[in-house]
Amino acid sequence: MPVTTAKVLFFGRLKELVGVSEDAYELRDGAAIEQIFAHYAARCPQLAAFRSSVVASRNHEFASWETPVHSGDEVAFLPPVSGG
């Protein structure tokens, strides 16, 4: 399978944990969003604690963790939002 690059964005507390708001991630074309999150969680173990409450999106649309990612896609991880 060809290798491709996706733009990965982190918001809120996730950005603080990872240390960047944006990154370029090389992956196999069609790899799932879950695999991208797992890569960053391996580099930043504190990130894994947020897995159950993080929302993912692909190309500005909410997406499931199994959603495939292709060349040029933008994947974003959004932290839980607390209401008041």
- In what side-by-side order are the strands of the sheet with 3-10? 22-28, 3-10, 74-78, 55-58, 61-63
CA–CA gap between residue 21 and residue 28 (Å, rounded): 22
CA–CA gap between residue 6 and residue 67 (Å, rounded): 13
The per-residue pLDDT string of the chain (84 residues; one tens digit each, 9 = 90 and over) reads 678 899 999 999 999 999 999 999 999 989 999 999 999 999 999 999 999 999 999 999 999 999 999 999 999 999 877 555
Residue ranges of domains in the chain, CATH in brackets: 3-78 (3.10.20.30)
CA-closest candidate to residue 4, choices 75, 80, 72, 76:
72
Please report the sign of the dihedral spanned by the C-alpha atoms of residue 62, residue 51, residue 22, residue 72: negative
Global pTM reads 0.91
